[in-house]
Structure 1
Amino acid sequence: MTAPRPASTSGIELRHLRAFAAVARRRSFTHAAEELLITQPALSRTVAQLEAGLGVRLLDRSSRGVALTDTGAAFLVHVERTLAGFDAAIAAARHELRLRLGFSWLLPDPWAQRAIARFERDSGAQVELVRCDNPLDALDRQGVDVALVRGSRPVGDGVRTVHLYDEQRVAVHARDEAAGGGREASRSHPPKAMADALRWQDAHEWTLVVNTASGTTGPWCWPSGNGPHRYVETANFDEWLESVAAGRGLGIVPDVAERRIHHPALRFLPLTGAPPSPVRLAYRPEAGTGSTLLRRFLDAALDAASTCTHAGGA
């Protein structure tokens, strides 16, 4: 019996890898096509060509959306590292210095503007802003050189952090608790939640909406048994925001949200007794664009943090 002929990879090009990475990152052919400025049929053909060339299925497609197969998830790690290395090589050849800053939502102001302006002025390099659901994952895949992280969750082995400042937490809930929440909405808003302020020590009464990828407030913030008794998990900031607006539960965020998010379905409340939420930069010393450029950005970031009296995040 003849062994199956292995798939040929000679026709695989960078455009195939970029197409796959975009779909995997956005979990949508439609959104990935918009990002790449190509038509959705062309994107589908490109990804199909990649799968045929490799002889494996990288994506599961269904009416509910797009998901990575186990093989696709493993392949994505190498693809993103390959693309990052290629882009860095091109930038070096063109003498274009850049540093990629990953963030999950709303870069804190005025810190970001001051840090970026000083770094670009002093180094001659450019900061590329990369929005990602989980900046630490992007850092691990070498999709970014430094990641802005909020909260006190562990960052993983081999990752160093620099503390910039602390943010104050506020509470947010659906302005119209009857909208979209049904019976769950009434459970998520006990009488104290409708007062003029909330108390951190009353957390056991809440249903808390948690962004598991990059949120600052979740089960890890309380000793065992002292936190909310009910949680609603979401995978990114947009899902978190709309789940709170739909009355699924309360949200807890740094106070920048109250200043910069204008959602007609949300109401913000002061939160007393809550611990501050740290803002940090995370990086891998052995990776990225080089220790000198990274150090100059960290210096600019710390200098900007020392001059900011108010900064915010999520």
Structure 2
Amino acid sequence: MDLELRHLRAYLAVTRERNYTRAAERLHITQPSLTRTIQQLERILDCRLIERTSRRFTLTAEGEHFRAVAQRLLADLDTAVADLHLRSAVSIGFSWLLPDTWFADARTRFEALGGHVEIRRVDDPIAALQSGAVDVALYRRDSRLPAQLASRVIGVERRLLAVSIRSPLARRPDLRWSDAAHYPLVANTITGTTDETSWPTAPPGRTVVHCTNFDEWIELIAADRGIGGVPELARTRAPHPGVVYRDVPDAPPSRVRLVWRVKPAPARSVRRFLDVA
């Protein structure tokens, strides 16, 4: 039999408590099981570590020496494990445009603790999260999430109206959100922030052109297949020669969420990232 960590932990518990019953309780095992573990340790080391009688509990010279060795080994191991936990990478899945200020601050705080953030561009952050491809997802939709996922709002973004340069709305003064209600709509059904429910007063039978990613969405807008809504970040981060982003004072804001798995429970590094983010 080889020496195992359980032997070291059992031996140190016995030497601290100087009593097998109390040591077994500390380790949440039975006293006979603890006694067998110490006996196995002595056979592995081929020496007597503990002199035990009905009235006395003392360590042999070898026992004192091995106690110091075991303490050092376990302390070094615990330190190494804690350090690796801190250095663990957390992957963030996003479909487009990370919020600049939030991400810079969250990454700085997490990496100051020794961790590392990886960013991964994915078409469907929720699917990537469920498959285990990413640890945390950035999500902007208000749709219901699966039961094994949890989310938290981390910010609110102003919403702009995106229209083709050929659309009458590109030049219309004093534009209101309701002015776009009767125009055909381009909706990204996977990660978009705006769909037909974003206009409660839209007429029945409104034309809705569906797509599944931002690249398709912006090209459809440029082709004047419809209008769309998008967070303000797109104006500077995703300009397009065929698209005009219009400020609309009464446009409903969109929310940004972090989403993570709760079943199975998130790793310690993920919990630490969520705490700082």
Match status 1:159 vs 2:136: no
Q: Normalising to structure 1: TM-score of the pair?
A: 0.57
- Determine if contact 2:181/2:199 at 8 Å carries over to the other structure: no
Return closer, same or farther for 1:228/1:238 CA change in 2, 3 Å cut-off: farther
Paired residues of 1:101 and 1:127 also in contact (CA < 8 A): yes
Distance 1:267 1:223 in 2: 24
Which amino acid in structure 1 is aligned with residue 150 of structure 2? R
1:201 aligns with 2:201: no
- Larger Cα-atom Rg: 2
Q: Retained in 1: the 8 A contact 2:182–2:202? A: no
Q: Name which of 100, 104, 113 aligns with 2:104.
A: 113
Matching residue within 264, 269, 273 for 1:293: 269
Q: Would you say how many aligned residue pairs link Structure 1 and Structure 2? A: 194
Match 1:97 to one of 84, 88, 99: 88
Task: Tell me how far 1:225 sits from its aligned partner.
Answer: 5.3
The 1:259/1:214 distance shift into structure 2, 3 A limit, reads same
The question of whether the paired residues in 2 share the 8 Å contact of 1:99 and 1:289 is answered with no
**How far apart are 1:138 and its partner, in Å?**
0.7
Residue number among 170, 175, 179 corresponding to 2:160 in the alignment:
170
Given the superposition, is the C-alpha separation of residues 157 and 228 from structure 1 closer, same or farther in structure 2, using an over 3 Å criterion?
Answer: farther
**Distance change >3 Å, CA 114–CA 246, structure 1 → 2:** same
**Cα deviation per residue 1:117-149 (whole Å; 9 max; x = unaligned)?**
111111x12111111111011111111111000
- Residue type matched to 1:159 in 2? L
Residue equivalent to 2:27 = none
Percent identity of equivalent pairs: 40
Give the Cα separation in 1 of the matches to 2:205 and 2:122. Answer: 28
Relative to 1, partners in 2 of residues 1:224 and 1:268: Cα closer, same or farther, differing over 3 Å? closer
Structure-1 separation of matches of 2:201 and 2:261: 31
Q: Which runs of 5+ in 2 are unaligned?
A: 1-80
1:159 and 1:282 in contact (8 A); partners too: yes
When structure 1 is superposed on structure 2, of 223-232 and 238-247 the one drifting more is 223-232
- Given the superposition, is the C-alpha separation of residues 227 and 97 from structure 1 closer, same or farther in structure 2, using an over 3 Å criterion? farther
Q: What are the Cα deviations for residues 252-284 of structure 1, in whole angstroms up to 9, with x where unaligned?
A: 101011122222222111123222101110111
User: Offset of 1:288 from its aligned partner?
Assistant: 7.2
Normalised TM-score (structure 2): 0.64
CA distance in 2, matches of 1:260, 1:163: 22
Q: Shift of residue 224 of structure 1?
A: 8.2
Alignment-derived partner of residue 284 in structure 1: 261
1:146 partnered with 2:136: yes
Structure 1 segment 1-314 matched on structure 2, within 5 A: 95=84, 97-122=88-113, 124-175=114-165, 177=166, 189=167, 191-192=168-169, 194-223=171-200, 229-287=206-264, 290=267, 292-301=268-277
